[in-house]
Structure 1
Amino acid sequence: MAPYESAKDTSEAADVRAGRRKAARYAVPIAVAGVAAATIGLVPALATSGDPDLPKVTAQELIEKIAASDTQQLSGNVKISTDLGLPSFGGMAGGFGGGGGADRGEGDGDEKGSAADPKSKLMELASGTHTLRVAADGPDKQKVSVLGDASEYSLIHNGDDVWAYDSASNEAYHAKDEGASPEKGDKHGKDVPKGLDGELPSTPKEFAEQALKAVDDTTSVEVDGTAQVAGRDAYRLVIKPKQDGSTVGRITVAVDEKTGTPLKFTLTPASGGAAVVDAGFTKVDFGKPSASTFDFTPPKGTKVTEADEQGERSRDFKGKDGKEFGEGDLNEPKVIGTGWSSIAELKLPGGKGLPTAGSGDVPQDAQKLLDSLGDQVNGDFGAGTVFSTRLINALVTDDGTVYVGAVTKDALVKAANEAH
């Protein structure tokens, strides 16, 4: 179907931003978002079975419809695939220190991370196609399960407890959510791992609200016809950068006509080809899930790892300089540019570039891997390496400066030259 309206111009941007700010306040708080945070993926296109004939709406009205959608209860299946142009990380998670249970080095079990640690699952979900079963009942009860061929991985938030369970290894991970609900301040306990505190998106609605935060006068917003997703009639909201240099081509959000809930989110890169980001319901029910959905007791014989205990073990590992891993974090970034072509500039700890085999900091094989993943570039700033995906690119200079953004390699080099 033809678009209902043309792209919004600068004079209407304030209204769009107002709707966007409202939308950000009405997110279903998925406390187990960490399990799906890295599933920036694709189902090849909006799953449609015809274009339903719906009343015409403007982009502003549709954004306000998302904002007014106070969906607190739902259940269903979400299909997510990832096409960032990266190799599959399945089986490699342990090598990156992200957990992985039996895959993480030698020694007894107490020295290993838990196979149920959500951080290991983030790595596994960074590529390929995955099916998630999701459920939510307000801010204190959520569940996300990653369905495998013969196994299941689940994250369950129920009141003060956050559980993760990996049926393949029969391991569980437990953290306490001691904070208030979002209505009382959105504070979370120190035991809840980063990524389980609702800061990262896991549902089409949360992905959509992240995209709406970028809507300003550098953005085109329009309603581009209708679709049917998971058996429900929906409008298609299209968000596109107006600026050159962005790797983002367009974002399409399918918005449920009755509830205003985003049902599918697709991000297509400016380079064309398959989408980079797509998270969509294949089945959805807006009724109240059964209370038993959020109950969890570790099965008999399950190895249970407490979050605070694992944190203590991780602090036992130190680098050659005697510092704990994680010390000397990156400084606060400086933002170059505006809108979709924004680039973050920050400094690596110690003011040095990437470690090299010649310095003895990394093994020779690891050096070869780094060299194969990056492109060597030169400019007024000196020399550096650009690491690219189909969406995010990063330039690491030899003097330890990092330039990163959803922009092209040429845009990164230009920013580095101008900052020199």
Structure 2
Amino acid sequence: MAPYAAEDSQDGGGAGTGTGRRRAARYAVPAAVIGVAAATIGLVPALADSGDPDLPKTTAQELLRKIAASDTEQLSGTVKIHTDLGLPSLGGGAAGMLGGAGGGEGGGEGPSSADPKAKLTELATGTHTLRVAADGPDRQKLSILEDAAEYSVIHNGSDVWAYDSKSNEAYHAKDTGRHDAAGDRAKQREDELPATPKELTDEILKASGDTTSFSVDGTSQVAGRDAYRLQIKPKQSGSTVGAITIAVDAKTGTPLKFTLTPASGGAAVVDAGFTSVDFGKPAASTFDFKPAKGTKVTEADELKGKELKDHELPGKGERPGDHPQRAPKGAEGVEGAEGLKVIGEGWTSIAELKLPEGAGLAGGGAAKGDVPADAQKFLDSLGDRVKGDFGTGTVYSTRLVNVLITEDGKAYAGAVTKEALVKAAEAR
């Protein structure tokens, strides 16, 4: 896709930014930032960038065109993952107090340890090593290297396999191009997880509008390749995003490194880059997978019944379209989610959502009583109590994303400051 129109101006406010793009930017920027930082992959080189190559001068507009025109479809390489949201550890007793998140019915863990929906979210914190390979739109492979183990997701034609060597379990789905059934929604979520610097870059650039400034911040070397540094900054005050820097391969236009730093300063929240990369065609055997004898295989079709039950099957005589509110969140885009409103635009957009009864979050009114005392104490210790015209509430903060939950059961979230959330809640 072309993440940014070639005729757009350097500061993002040129004629190429249409009404539709500006409307999308109202909600897409915070969604992209939250998604990249909290539920997806940050790629950081094992070694710092080296060198300051002498490259021909270029403008931000020309560099954006170069990224948009990049036709790289074949590559292989090694990356490292490091994401630092500043979240406290939820392991051990804390996880237990919160209801054993990740275990059992409703805990978010799939029936197979190889299910990508659960496994890939582990990349949201800490440092990991990856190997990636791609050969066009029909063949990709991503492997997470662990101590004496490896987890891989392989897309080869109509088949999507995931394999966890530690448990000797595999997950299999068919890539039919349909996204209307539960199993296909699971596949769609896998597709939406950015796995390379280019995908991370596309998520940000496609959401940028006239609230964003672009500039060229010199040159660097990443994975032994000469690159330009494209810097992206919010024009608006109140955002927790300080800057995004993308190292763009001078020859191919492929993003090689992606770094997101918070407005508060300090280490990057997400840092993305190859430690080695090869733009040659990977061997066809790279994408071959056949479960060995004794491997436990879970078919995506087996999960459809549970997924459909979770989202309520139509009653007798009803058609699937009779109750659109039963569609899973995200099926129709952010603006189509039930009860979701977007306040503001661009980098300071705030999502307002009415929490369901019994959500069990601190500050959630009646739902608060449903939380065990120890769990409530733990949740309260994570947040800051605030007061305003809306009453009282609790703000839960990370280095990038902040969430305000009020006593009347509303949630306000965005890559914005605590003060911006309070102000938005007071204005409602």
Provide the TM-score with structure 2 as the length reference.
0.79
Aligned to 1:342: 349
Residues 411 and 42 of structure 1, relative CA distance in 2, 3 Å threshold: farther
Once the two structures are superposed, residues 249-301 of structure 1 have per-residue CA deviations (whole angstroms, 9 ceiling, x without a partner) of 00000000000000000000000000001121111111111111111111221
Q: Is the 8 A contact 1:77 1:281 kept in 2?
A: yes
**Which whole-Å CA distance do the structure 2 matches of 1:143 and 1:289 have between them?**
10
Deviates most, 374-383 or 35-44: 35-44
Once the two structures are superposed, residues 311-352 of structure 1 have per-residue CA deviations (whole angstroms, 9 ceiling, x without a partner) of 435667899xxxxxx999662522111211111112112498
1:394 aligns with 2:403: yes
Deviation of residue 368 (structure 1)?
Answer: 2.0
**Which whole-Å CA distance do the structure 2 matches of 1:278 and 1:96 have between them?**
32
Residues 54 and 96 of structure 1, relative CA distance in 2, 3 Å threshold: farther
**Which whole-Å CA distance do the structure 1 matches of 2:36 and 2:115 have between them?**
10
**Partner of residue 370 from structure 1, selected from 379, 400, 404:** 379
**Partner of residue 240 from structure 2, selected from 231, 234, 247:** 247
Report the secondary structure of 1:224's partner residue.
strand
Q: Is the 8 A contact 2:75 2:279 kept in 1?
A: yes
Q: Is the 8 A contact 1:16 1:215 kept in 2?
A: no
Report the secondary structure of 1:116's partner residue.
coil
Aligned to 1:333: 340
Residues 206 and 246 of structure 1, relative CA distance in 2, 3 Å threshold: same
Q: Is the 8 A contact 1:46 1:229 kept in 2?
A: no
**Which whole-Å CA distance do the structure 2 matches of 1:86 and 1:93 have between them?**
13
Amino acid at match of 1:257: A
Residues 353 and 145 of structure 1, relative CA distance in 2, 3 Å threshold: closer
Once the two structures are superposed, residues 169-221 of structure 1 have per-residue CA deviations (whole angstroms, 9 ceiling, x without a partner) of 111111111117xxxxxx68752415545223211001111121233222221
Q: Is the 8 A contact 2:49 2:222 kept in 1?
A: yes
Report the secondary structure of 1:258's partner residue.
coil
Deviation of residue 43 (structure 1)?
Answer: 3.5
Once the two structures are superposed, residues 115-147 of structure 1 have per-residue CA deviations (whole angstroms, 9 ceiling, x without a partner) of 111122133222110111001111111110001
Residues 135 and 112 of structure 1, relative CA distance in 2, 3 Å threshold: closer
Once the two structures are superposed, residues 129-170 of structure 1 have per-residue CA deviations (whole angstroms, 9 ceiling, x without a partner) of 011100111111111000112110000111111111100111
**Which whole-Å CA distance do the structure 2 matches of 1:267 and 1:112 have between them?**
31
Residues 402 and 278 of structure 1, relative CA distance in 2, 3 Å threshold: same
Tell me the matched-pair count: 377
Report the secondary structure of 1:279's partner residue.
strand
Amino acid at match of 1:399: D
Aligned to 1:86: 87
Give the alignment's Cα RMSD to 1 decimal.
3.4
1:148 aligns with 2:146: yes
Q: Is the 8 A contact 1:35 1:155 kept in 2?
A: no
| Unaligned stretches of 5+ residues in structure 2 | 1-8, 22-34, 313-325, 330-336
Amino acid at match of 1:13: G
Report the secondary structure of 1:214's partner residue.
coil
1:13 aligns with 2:13: yes
Deviation of residue 307 (structure 1)?
Answer: 1.7
**Partner of residue 256 from structure 1, selected from 233, 249, 255:** 249
Aligned to 2:61: 60
Amino acid at match of 1:221: F
Aligned to 1:175: 173
1:231 aligns with 2:224: yes
Amino acid at match of 1:71: T
Give the share of equivalent positions with the same residue, in percent.
Answer: 70
Aligned to 1:28: none
Residues 396 and 249 of structure 1, relative CA distance in 2, 3 Å threshold: same
Provide the TM-score with structure 1 as the length reference.
0.80
Report the secondary structure of 2:56's partner residue.
coil
Residues 332 and 177 of structure 1, relative CA distance in 2, 3 Å threshold: farther
Aligned to 2:51: 50
Q: Is the 8 A contact 2:41 2:195 kept in 1?
A: no
Once the two structures are superposed, residues 67-110 of structure 1 have per-residue CA deviations (whole angstroms, 9 ceiling, x without a partner) of 110111111112110100113467899988876xxxx459xxxx
**Which whole-Å CA distance do the structure 2 matches of 1:45 and 1:248 have between them?**
24
Aligned to 2:183: 191
Deviation of residue 364 (structure 1)?
Answer: 2.3
Aligned to 2:32: none
**Partner of residue 134 from structure 1, selected from 129, 132, 135:** 132
Amino acid at match of 2:218: G
**Partner of residue 290 from structure 1, selected from 274, 283, 295:** 283
